[in-house]
Amino acid sequence: MSAGFNGRGFWTLFTKEVRRFLKVTVQTVLTPMVTALLYLLVFGQALEAHVEVYPGIGYSAFLIPGLMMMSIIQNAFANSSSSLIQSKMTGNLVFVLLAPISSLEFFAAFVLAAVVRGLLVALAVYAVAVLFVDLPLAHPWAIAVFAVIGSATLGALGVIAGIWADKYDQLAGFQNFFILPLSFLSGVFYSIHSLPGVWQQISHFNPFFYLIDGFRWGFFGQSDSSPVLSLAVGSGFLALMIALALARVSRLRA
């Protein structure tokens, strides 16, 4: 472990992680963008004339921020977790661990690379969606803040899962039984106010709901929950994931 911050080591690992997913852009950026747009096409066409979640906001417009944040959540998690499990399975993780970088530098490189991928996918979805749907930008700063919090949180969670998993099946199970259900049941496709009372209460225990709701507030200035509460829960969830991930990284390097 190095004394002080090893900027060169951090930057080398960070750029290696970014280049890793950029080499397969079709898989890591274009495919999730197309998937999100297919959701928009199917649900938007089916429900546009029948659902108005917020006054003056069409259903397709309502749907886009949710799809963007869902893309951020899934791709930020996939980036850090898949990189770590691949390195473990191929046996080259040991060479990264032997490098003169600290646990913080190791963690930050993986998480920031996950942030880059999550934001790239979200921007790709936005760039295509706005060609067909008029989307307001009520609070651009909130959009940026929640996008970074969401991608960093899931990048950190991906580090935890990638270190924990010993094989691809375990990582797939973590994603299929934890990440996907929480993201799909967080208000991406609906307002939680449309749910029965008990399910509304359950939704408030889903941290992904606050990420999506705060992100959506940045576009419309309207949300299902207080943006202050969403920011507090999102920041607290991020702090918890950072603490847990750093503990796992430190134990891995011990």
- Domain coverage including residue 193: 7-253
pLDDT for the residue numbered 54: 84
Task: Please check whether residue 1 lies inside any domain of the structure.
Answer: no
Task: Please check whether residue 2 lies inside any domain of the structure.
Answer: no
Task: Please check whether residue 165 lies inside any domain of the structure.
Answer: yes
- Non-local (6+) Cβ contacts of 121 within 8 A are 28, 29, 32, 33, 36, 71, 72, 75
Task: Please check whether residue 105 lies inside any domain of the structure.
Answer: yes
pLDDT for the residue numbered 1: 44
Amino acid residing at 71: S
Phi, psi of 25 (to 5 degrees): -60, -35
SS3 content of the chain, % helix, strand, coil (to 5): 75, 0, 20
Task: Please check whether residue 198 lies inside any domain of the structure.
Answer: yes
Locate 116 and state its tokens: 């880059």
Residue 100 CB burial class (10 angstroms; 0-12, 13-18, ≥19): exposed
Q: How far lies 63's CA from each of 36, 37, 212, in Å?
A: 10, 10, 11
- The predicted model scores a pTM of 0.93
pLDDT for the residue numbered 56: 84
pLDDT digit of tens for each residue in the chain (254 aa)? 445 677 888 999 999 999 999 999 999 999 999 999 999 998 887 777 677 788 888 899 999 999 999 999 999 999 999 999 999 988 888 888 888 889 999 999 999 999 999 999 999 999 999 998 999 999 999 999 999 999 999 999 999 999 999 989 999 999 999 999 999 889 898 888 888 878 888 888 999 999 999 999 999 999 999 999 999 999 999 999 999 999 999 998 76
Task: Please check whether residue 234 lies inside any domain of the structure.
Answer: yes
What residue spans of 48-102 are helical by DSSP H?
Answer: 59-90, 93-97
pLDDT for the residue numbered 2: 46
pLDDT for the residue numbered 4: 65
- Non-local (6+) Cβ contacts of 52 within 8 A are 58, 59
- Structural domains in the chain (count): 1
- Non-local (6+) Cβ contacts of 207 within 8 A are 153, 182, 233, 234, 237
Task: Please check whether residue 192 lies inside any domain of the structure.
Answer: yes
- Non-local (6+) Cβ contacts of 252 within 8 A are 97, 163
The span from the CA of 63 to the CA of 188, in Å, is 7
pLDDT for the residue numbered 3: 53
CA proximity to 120, closest of 235, 12, 231, 27: 27
Angle between helices 227-253 and 207-220 (to 10 degrees): 130
CA proximity to 215, closest of 153, 159, 155: 153
